[in-house]
Amino acid sequence: MSVYQPPVSGQQSSTALIQLQTQTETKVGSIQVGWTIDPELYGDSRARLFTKWSEEHDGTVDGCYNTLCSGFVVTNPNIPIDTAFNDVSISQRSQVFQWMMVTLDPLSQDWWLSMQDDNIRIGYWPRELFSFSGFSVGGYNATWGGLVHTGTDVSPAMGSGIFEDGNYNSTCNMVKVQVNIGNTFVSPYDNPVQVLQSRCFKASKQNTHPDYRFQFGGPGGLPNACVA
C-alpha cells in the first residue's frame, strides 16, 4: 500500500488498512493492519504503522490498538508496531510503499504479520484472542481500503487527499492485492470496489494490471459537499 500523510487534526483520523473479519449470529471479530494518522492516539499528525484487534459480543467490545492491551504479540523489536514512517508519498512526485502480509500459521493457528520485501515477521495475533473459531478455520472476509473518523461534521482527507481516476502517481493505492486459497495466491479481480459512505471519496480498480491494484481516497469535507 502507498503511504501518505494527509492533514488530520483533533479527534479526526485517516487510515489505510487490510482487515480480516469473521462473525457468527452473536459475535464479530476482526484484525487490522496498515497506516493511520490519529492525533488522539499518538499525540501527533504523522502517518504510523498500526495493528488493531476487536471482538464484539453480548453488547460489549474487547480489543485495542497495537499493544495497548493484551493482544498483538511483538516478536521483532527492530520495527516498533507504532513506528512513524519517515518517508511518505508525495502526489505527482514520489510514491512510498509498505508491503504487508497477514498469514495463518496452520499449526498454532495464530495470525502473523510480515512486512517489507524480505518478509520480516513483526509479530502475531494469538488464536486465544477470539472466543470462537472462525479465524482459525479460515471462515473470514478480507477487505482492503481506507476509512476515516470525522470527530466533527467535517471529515479529514483519505489517502493522498486527491482522487484522480487512473492516476496512480497522485492517488493512494494498493497493488498486488492477493489472498492465499489452497496454497495459490489469487487476486480479487471479480470482487467489487465499494464506497460505503462518501465525503468526496471515490475508489476504482485496474483489472488489466498484472498484479491487480486499486485506488481510493479524496479530500473529505462536509457530508453534502460531494456526490458519491
- Dump the DSSP string for 159-207: TTS---TT-TTTS-EEES--EEETTEEE--TTSPP--SS-SS-EEEEET
**Domain for residue 169, yes or no?**
yes
**Domain for residue 171, yes or no?**
yes
Residue for grid cell 490519529: 38
Between CA 42 and CA 52 the distance in angstroms is: 14
Query: 147-163 pLDDT, tens per residue?
Result: 999 877 788 999 999 99
Please give the tally of structural domains in the chain. Answer: 1
Residue 9: phi and psi, rounded to 5, are: -145, 165
Rounded percentage of the chain residues whose pLDDT exceeds 70: 92
Nearest to 56 by CA among 25, 23, 24, 27: 27
Q: Report pLDDT for 115.
A: 92
Query: 57-76 pLDDT, tens per residue?
Result: 888 888 999 999 989 999 99
**Domain for residue 54, yes or no?**
yes
3-state secondary structure of 215: strand
Q: Residue 180 pLDDT > 90, yes or no?
A: no
Q: How many CB atoms lie within 10 A of CB 123?
A: 20
**Domain for residue 224, yes or no?**
no
Domain CATH code at residue 164: 2.60.120
What burial class does residue 16 get, using C-beta atoms within 10 Å of its C-beta: 0-12 exposed, 13-18 middle, 19+ buried?
Answer: buried
Q: Residue 227 pLDDT > 70, yes or no?
A: no
Q: Report pLDDT for 39.
A: 95
Q: Report pLDDT for 228.
A: 47
Residue for grid cell 493482544: 71
CB 198 within 8 A of CB 223: no
**Domain for residue 45, yes or no?**
yes
CB 126 within 8 A of CB 110: yes
**Domain for residue 140, yes or no?**
yes
- Kindly report the average pLDDT of the chain as a whole number: 87
Note the maximum CA span of the chain: 50
CB 165 within 8 A of CB 181: no
Among 41-50, 97-106, 200-209, name the one with the lowest average pLDDT.
200-209
What global pTM score does this model have?
Answer: 0.90
Strand ordering across the sheet containing 48-57: 60-65, 48-57, 27-37, 13-23, 141-149
Q: Report pLDDT for 197.
A: 72
**Domain for residue 7, yes or no?**
no
**Residue 203 belongs to domain spanning:** 13-217
Query: 82-107 pLDDT, tens per residue?
Result: 999 999 999 888 999 999 999 888 88
**Domain for residue 122, yes or no?**
yes
